[in-house]
Amino acid sequence: MDKTFFSFGHGFSARALAERLVPQGWRIIGTTRSADKLDEIAATGVEPVQWPGTDVSPLLREAPYLLISAGPGADGDPVLNAMHDEIAKIAPKLRWAGYLSTTGVYGDHGGDWVDEDTALTPATKRGQARVEAEAAWRAIPDLPLHIFRLAGIYGPGRGPFAKVRKGTARRIIKKGQVFSRIHVEDIAQALELSLARPDPGAIYNLCDDDPAPPQDVIGHAADLLGLPMPEAIDFETAEMTPMARSFYAESKKVRNDRIKDALGWQPKYPDYRSGLAAMLADSAD
């Protein structure tokens, strides 16, 4: 079995997957826009490539596994914009292709549950761009595509602890607001399971089992640190960037039954409490 894996936009989730695959003898090729990150990626056992800026076509042709983590921008999907024809050529030879999307494609559901069959009605431009990108990837003939719709990602170095420690964390209160989340290690586990059992055309939600109001997560982080409870601020009057405010335009709880049934996936961190506790323990070590 050829264990060569090409990773477009080798970021947080892709690196977590590589940590699982490299010790198993996989050859991982990962792209980054920044030359400053090449050495950092290489230190993880991944072959770093600066892209755009390098002709990656020869490397793509060597890899039967493909992961796309790069999100769409104002001009659409950056990978398809640059590499559509090349990917279309190699599509029949690929064993597995994965696209990391977002649960933002479902839009706002007033705190109700959504699953993979829920209509895509994004409430933000970012969500609409994801819907369009998903459709563009699905339109490539013979591409063994798997779409993973990720909830809010957290994990080592990406969580509420730093802001709570600095005293800059706030508990933004919006009545009925609820989000789903996913620990990065649980994303990596799901991708690894899918690699072992390809099912082209599959779409999976990736989230934990406990959707929760964002202020509860901030409050629990403060409790774990033994620090004062961050101030509660009403959403309507809170000073927020347009980007931060846009996240509150959507409220929903995301179901993950499909990937559990199909692949036997079970989140290592089924709720934010277990995930935050593990992060704090790791940082203490």
Residue 232 lies in a domain: no
Average pLDDT over residues 185-207: 98
Burial 23-47 (b: 16+ CB within 10 A, else e): eeebbbbbbbeeeeeeeebeeeebb
How many structural domains does the chain have? 1
- pLDDT confidence of residue 247: 84
Q: Which strands make up the sheet holding 27-32, listed edge to edge?
A: 47-50, 27-32, 4-8, 65-68, 96-102, 145-150, 203-206
Residue 169 lies in a domain: no
Residue 261 has pLDDT above 90, yes or no: yes
Q: β-pairing, 113-114 with 152-154? A: unpaired
CA-nearest of 3, 52, 53 to 28 is 3
Residue 11 lies in a domain: yes
pLDDT band at 74 (very low <50, low <70, confident <90, very high): confident
Average pLDDT over residues 279-284: 84
pLDDT band at 160 (very low <50, low <70, confident <90, very high): very high
Tens of pLDDT, residues 9-18: 999 999 999 9
Residue 52 lies in a domain: yes
Range of the domain at 82: 4-154+182-208+254-268
Residue 229 lies in a domain: no
Residue 142 lies in a domain: yes
Residue 23 lies in a domain: yes
- Least confident interval from 62-66, 78-82, 156-160, 245-249: 245-249
- pLDDT confidence of residue 285: 40
What is the three-state SS of the chain? Answer: CCCEEEEECCCHHHHHHHHHHHHHCCEEEEEECCHHHHHHHHCCCCEEEECCCCCCHHHHHHCCEEEECCCCECCECHHHHHHHHHHHHHHHHCCEEEEEEEHHHHCCCCCCEECCCCCCCCCCHHHHHHHHHHHHHHCCCCCCEEEEEECEEEECCECCHHHHHHCCCCEEECCCCCECEEEHHHHHHHHHHHHHCCCCCCEEEECCCCCECHHHHHHHHHHHHCCCCCCEEEHHHCCCCHHHHHHCCCCCEECCHHHHHHHCCCCCCCCHHHHHHHHHHHHHC
Name residue, tokens 């599959």.
202
Q: How far is CA 285 from CA 118, 157, 162, 166, in A?
A: 42, 14, 17, 21
Average pLDDT over residues 201-229: 97
Tens of pLDDT, residues 140-154: 999 999 999 999 999
Average pLDDT over residues 108-136: 95
The proportion of the chain whose per-residue pLDDT surpasses 70, expressed as a percent, equals 99
| CATH (domain of 127) | 3.40.50.720
- pLDDT confidence of residue 111: 95
What is the residue-averaged pLDDT of the chain?
95
Residues 6+ apart with CB under 8 A from 218: 160, 164, 169, 170, 171, 230
- How many angstroms separate the CA atoms of 195 and 4, rounded? 12
Q: What is the pTM of this model?
A: 0.95
Residue 226 lies in a domain: no
- pLDDT confidence of residue 220: 97
